[in-house]
Amino acid sequence: MGRPTPSSSQNSLTVLDNRTGKSIEVVIEDNSIPATSFKALSAALEKGEREENETGKGLRVSDKGFLNTAVMRSEITYIDGEAGVLRYRGYPIEELALHSSHLETAYLLIYGSLPSSSQLKVWESEVMHHSVVHADAEQFFRSFRYDAHPMAILTSAFAYLGSYYSEANPSLQGQTLFTKGNPESLAVMDRQIYRLIGKATTLAAMAYRVRQGRSFVTPPTGLSYTGSFLYQMDHLGEENYKPNPILEKALDVLFLLHADHELNASATTVLQTASSLVDPYSAIAAGCASLYGPLHGGANEAVIRMLISIGSPANVPAFIEAVKKREKVLSGFGHRVYKTSDPRSFIVRKTADEVFKVTGKDELLETAMALHEAAMKDEYFIKRKLAPNVDFWSGLIYRAMGFPLDFFPVLFAVPRVVGWLAHWRQMMLQPGGVKIWRPRQIYVGASKREYVPVERRIPEEGSRKTPSQISHSGISKRTMLATFKGAKL
Ligand code: CMC
């Protein structure tokens, strides 16, 4: 088959399938090519061969872990991983951290530009006014066990919250509720954005207080976003209680740094979920679940557990060797996109110094610094371009501020609600409407088989032996309960 003539702009690829000699021309737009172009290529089938395996189908683009697959055109966050650059809507993260606030930056991320002073006033007031939750929510929080992980509580709480707002549910109000882009649709969308950001701190504070055995606190008025959050967690009835302004500001900077990070695992999960046009509360709950894992937002918790297990700077060399042998994981290092330092980590490091002036230094700081130094000059980490990410230092700040270890991912999830909503809004309003996210697989399983009745079945070679069996005697049940979560007998 002859080669096609290249398009006049030359902005294309010519792809030759050596199996068949067929070639196709694929258009390059925005430095990307549509994966669907490759569907036009397929191997020739042998005579009589049916399309039971992948061979005869249109060529698939395989990308386990989305290493080089773009699923959205986005105007929200720009990262240059090689240069260590992070910008929200064009503004460098360093400038925003220095001059802006979390709520102002939230407006920027969601609506695309920095607000005027009157826009900011309305925005802040709407978000803060939507922070109160229904009194019944208290029962919901009290239904969790005292040792429930707060991310399990928060994830459930976002889904629970959605049950109050039938007006925000496309299943009840019509599929195009959020995609019309007309004033009514935008107003419904705005209200859910106010609610989700406003109530994120309230739900998180309730998850915190229920485990402390404290009564819940109504969100106060007249405080900043992080001031209100600290108040809701820490107020114990003192008159005129005010959170420490340095800690309030430090938390605000950390919130701003965590507000968005383009299409990471949790933002992608939110969009994947939202692509079915489900309500935003369910999509945010899904994002929360994805963030919770130790490779993502749970890394700040994992870093501290790692530092505790290392114990002291003297044990760092042995730990590094264990990482290199892949026996241990160095949490807080490495990033899918940054192949140089994570720009947020410098700001977090500076913020840590401010916090330590109030709280005193964390005893794990020396071990963290020794680990950082050792990793940064070790050939293994240099070769793989592994540097500290935002989670390496943030956990030390949260620990110094007295937050329980398992609460750290919550402190990541609350500000990330902003980024998730920015992506959700952008997706709902994208030109051409929403397309459901439905990837393809490469099927490598058995071809068609005939069902064999159980009495005639012989275990196949290589098949699983007997499934693991759990004994259900009274004795085993009592033992299981006694050792629940590693509790000593
Ligand atoms: N310690 C030791 N080796 C590592 C680490 C690490 N933390 N991270 C990556 N590597 C190695 C990895 O084994 C691989 O080596 P090789 O090429 O010899 O097989 C190489 O570096 C490339 O890494 P990768 O696994 O291809 O990287 P990835 O893009 O798939 O994963 C990551 C990125 C963040 C999941 C990973 O670096 C990691 O597990 N880091 C620790 C967890 C962590 O700190 N997560 C927070 C990320 S930042 C906050 C956020 O946005 O969530």
DSSP 275-336: TTT--HHHHHHHHHHHHTSTTTTTHHHHHHHHHHHH-SGGGHHHHHHHHHTTSS--TTB--S
Residue 78, beta-bridge partner list: 87
Res 339: pLDDT: 85
Does any ligand 1 atom lie closer than 6 A to the CB of residue 332?
yes
Tell me how far the alpha carbon of residue 386 lies from the centroid of ligand 1, in angstroms: 8
Q: 250 to each of 6, 31, 256, 370, 401, how far by Cα in Å?
A: 56, 39, 10, 24, 10
Does any ligand 1 atom lie closer than 6 A to the CB of residue 295?
yes
Q: Indicate the top mutation candidate among 300, 328, 384, 420 to test ligand 1's pocket, ranked by most ligand atoms within 8 A of CB.
A: 384
**Tokens read off for 218:** 């109504």
Does any ligand 1 atom lie closer than 6 A to the CB of residue 261?
yes
Res 487: pLDDT: 46
Q: For atom 41 of ligand 1, which residue has the closest CA?
A: 331
Res 489: pLDDT: 38
Q: 410 to each of 63, 287, 470, how far by Cα in Å?
A: 30, 12, 34
pTM, two decimal places: 0.90
Cα distance between residue 437 and residue 110, in whole Å: 22
Q: Indicate the top mutation candidate among 79, 295, 300, 383 to test ligand 1's pocket, ranked by most ligand atoms within 8 A of CB.
A: 295
**Active-site residue set:** 296, 335, 391
pLDDT in tens, 285-344: 999 999 999 899 988 989 999 999 999 999 999 999 999 999 999 999 999 888 888 899
Q: For atom 26 of ligand 1, which residue has the closest CA?
A: 336
**Which ligand 1 atom is the nearest neighbour of the CA of 392?**
44
Number of C-beta neighbours around residue 383 at 10 A? 8
Does any ligand 1 atom lie closer than 6 A to the CB of residue 384?
yes
Q: For atom 11 of ligand 1, which residue has the closest CA?
A: 384
Does any ligand 1 atom lie closer than 6 A to the CB of residue 330?
yes
Cα distance between residue 86 and residue 261, in whole Å: 8
Using 50 as the pLDDT threshold, list the residues of the chain that sit under it: 1-6, 8, 486-489
222 burial type by CB count under 10 A (0-12 exposed, 13-18 middle, 19+ buried): exposed
Q: Indicate the top mutation candidate among 268, 306, 333 to test ligand 1's pocket, ranked by most ligand atoms within 8 A of CB.
A: 333
Q: For atom 18 of ligand 1, which residue has the closest CA?
A: 384
Res 488: pLDDT: 39
Does any ligand 1 atom lie closer than 6 A to the CB of residue 394?
no
Q: For atom 1 of ligand 1, which residue has the closest CA?
A: 330
Q: For atom 16 of ligand 1, which residue has the closest CA?
A: 384
Res 460: pLDDT: 77
Does any ligand 1 atom lie closer than 6 A to the CB of residue 391?
yes
**Which ligand 1 atom is the nearest neighbour of the CA of 335?**
34
Tell me how far the alpha carbon of residue 380 lies from the centroid of ligand 1, in angstroms: 12
Q: In whole angstroms, what separates CA 71 from the centre of its chain?
A: 16
